């Protein structure tokens, strides 16, 4: 991550005394016409000025006395609202007495994004002969990818006349996943059974497995040795729920506040729409953990749906894959752009879906071309939608949500309107109940 170097130079108490004392002597010498006194007064001024220039030119992260940072954040990624621990270690880049002396004169502080901690984190600092270790906790309050660092070094010159505060070291990106709620797997499986009955496909067998090539990070216990011997390359079981229909969770990015490219951040504003993200992520994660291949597709007016791939079913890489898709969901430019995005993405899904694919949608109230495109999508396969209304929305928004639900049900969607912040399990059970089917 690019950053600009900004070094702030400040006088220490000793430097202030020398500047004030030297200035007084110099002025007295000028007034009394005593050149020797003027010279004595100017000398500390020159010394302080030279120290300030030297400290501004000599950075703590370069030269023979350079310091390096090593940062570890566990866990990373972290779930929104949970606590993660960070450890920052500062060490000399080159072992020498000068570098050790530089380390001893350095005080270290961490630069933390507001999204990772509302207040400057409190932790412990341990200073040794060859390292400084700072340990502290982060309390991430916003979903996304946020920078941690660079560290700030406060260091004095060898004579203690000036001190500088300057950034140094690397920056670490902390990924904050949305929080999810474990939805009843039995409900997910009953939905799959209903889909099998409607499409005429067979139910999954415990022995079913989809094989794919081994990639770094796969669990060696999932290697299918018979296929590996036959094909001459490692193959792993990627979906032990083969035969279950794949799942797409369509997320209406119009539920999120307009995106400004990260130029500003307000907790109350950013929190808007997060319940909807958690709803979409909870549905996708629950179905993936039940064995379905799944994906979260955010609405877009200029991006194809095809690059958003299904992640394999399972509790390991499947869950993390879904949450990685959810972490980058951001709002669109305005309401008109959000409407175009719903219409474009719904049309794209009609050509980029499996015949037996299950589609869930988390939407705001729809109308016009967007609702028309969703209605056309509903005629193909099984679809279910949660239409979200804000907690402080006016009555007209509630009526629009009910109209959207009625239109979707008429187009063979399962649909219900919910108020943002409702219980996720109750919302899920109501959605898969037979009573809400059209």
pLDDT(181) > 70: yes
Residue 203, pLDDT score? 43
Q: What's the number of domains the chain is made of?
A: 4
Quick one: 302 and 354 in the same domain?
A: yes
Q: Domain span at residue 101? A: 67-177
Q: In this structure, are 221 and 256 located in the same domain?
A: no
Q: 57, 78, 97: which is the final residue of a domain?
A: 57
**pLDDT score recorded for residue 95:** 83
Q: Range with the lowest mean pLDDT among 46-50, 181-185, 222-226, 342-346?
A: 222-226
- pLDDT for position 269: 58
Domain-embedded: residue 216: yes
| pLDDT band per the 50, 70, 90 thresholds, residue 344 | very high
Residues 301 and 258 in one domain: yes
CATH code for the domain in which residue 131 is found: 2.60.40.10
Do 234 and 280 sit in the same domain of this protein?
Answer: no
Whether residues 273 and 351 fall in one domain: yes
Same domain, 260 and 326: yes
CATH classification of the domain holding 317: 3.40.50
Is residue 384 located within the same domain as residue 266? yes
User: Would 140 be classed as within a structural domain?
Assistant: yes
Q: Is residue 309 in some structural domain?
A: yes
Question: How confident is the model at residue 204, as a pLDDT?
Answer: 44
> What's the whole-model pTM score?
0.78
Residue 187 has pLDDT above 60, yes or no: no
Residue 2 is assigned to a structural domain of this protein: no
Is residue 1, in this structure, part of any structural domain at all?
Answer: no
Q: Are residues 198 and 281 in the same domain?
A: yes
Q: Is residue 126 part of a domain?
A: yes
Terminal alpha carbon distance of the chain:
51
Do 347 and 246 lie in one domain? The reply is yes
Whether residue 406 sits in one domain with residue 345: yes
- 266, 384: one domain: yes
Asked whether residue 3 is assigned to any structural domain, the reply reads no
431: tokens are 């959605």
Nearest-5° angle of CA 31, CA 33, CA 35?
Answer: 115
Same domain (yes/no): 388, 270: yes
Residue 35 inside a domain? The answer is yes
Q: Average pLDDT, stretch 40-56?
A: 88
Confidence of residue 318 (pLDDT cuts 50, 70, 90): confident
């Amino acid at each position: 991550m690019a950053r600009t170097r900004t070094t702030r130079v400040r006088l220490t108490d000793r430097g202030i005394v020398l500047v004030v004392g030297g200035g007084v002597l110099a002025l007295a010498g000028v007034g009394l016409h005593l050149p020797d006194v003027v010279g004595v007064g100017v000398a500390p001024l020159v010394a302080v000025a030279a120290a300030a220039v030297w400290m501004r030119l000599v950075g703590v992260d370069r030269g023979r006395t350079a310091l390096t940072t090593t940062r570890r954040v566990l866990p990373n990624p972290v779930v929104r609202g949970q606590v993660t621990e960070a450890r920052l270690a500062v060490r000399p880049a080159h072992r020498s007495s000068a570098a050790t002396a530089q380390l001893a004169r350095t005080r270290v502080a961490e630069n933390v994004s507001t999204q990772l901690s509302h207040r400057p984190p409190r932790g412990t600092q341990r200073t040794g002969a060859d390292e400084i270790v700072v340990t502290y906790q982060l309390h991430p309050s916003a979903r996304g990818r946020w920078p941690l660092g660079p560290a700030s070094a406060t260091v004095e010159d060898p004579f203690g006349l000036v001190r500088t505060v300057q950034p140094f070291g690397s920056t670490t990106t902390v990924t904050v996943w949305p929080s999810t709620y474990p939805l009843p797997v039995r409900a997910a499986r009953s939905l799959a059974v209903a889909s099998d009955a409607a499409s005429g496909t067979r139910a999954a067998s415990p022995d079913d497995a989809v094989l794919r090539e081994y990639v770094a990070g796969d669990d060696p216990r999932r290697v299918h040795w018979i296929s590996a011997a036959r094909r001459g390359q490692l193959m792993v079981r990627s979906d032990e729920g083969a035969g279950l229909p794949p799942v797409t969770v369509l997320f209406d990015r119009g539920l999120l506040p307009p995106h400004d490219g990260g130029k500003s951040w307000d907790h109350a504003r950013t929190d808007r729409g997060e319940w909807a993200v958690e709803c979409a992520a909870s549905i996708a994660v629950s179905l993936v953990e039940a064995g379905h291949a799944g994906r979260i597709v955010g609405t877009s007016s200029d991006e194809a749906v095809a690059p958003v791939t299904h992640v394999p079913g399972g509790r390991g890489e499947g869950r993390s894959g879904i949450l990685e898709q959810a972490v980058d969901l951001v709002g669109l430019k305005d309401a008109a752009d959000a409407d175009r995005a719903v219409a474009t993405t719904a049309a794209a899904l009609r050509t980029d879906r499996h015949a037996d694919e299950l589609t869930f949608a988390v939407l705001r109230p729809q109308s016009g071309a967007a609702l028309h495109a969703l209605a056309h999508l509903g005629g193909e396969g099984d679809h279910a939608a949660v239409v979200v209304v804000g907690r402080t929305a006016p009555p007209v928004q509630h009526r629009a949500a009910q109209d959207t639900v009625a239109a979707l049900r008429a187009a063979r969607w399962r649909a219900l309107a919910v108020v943002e912040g409702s219980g996720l399990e109750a919302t899920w059970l109501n959605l898969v109940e037979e009573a809400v089917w059209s």
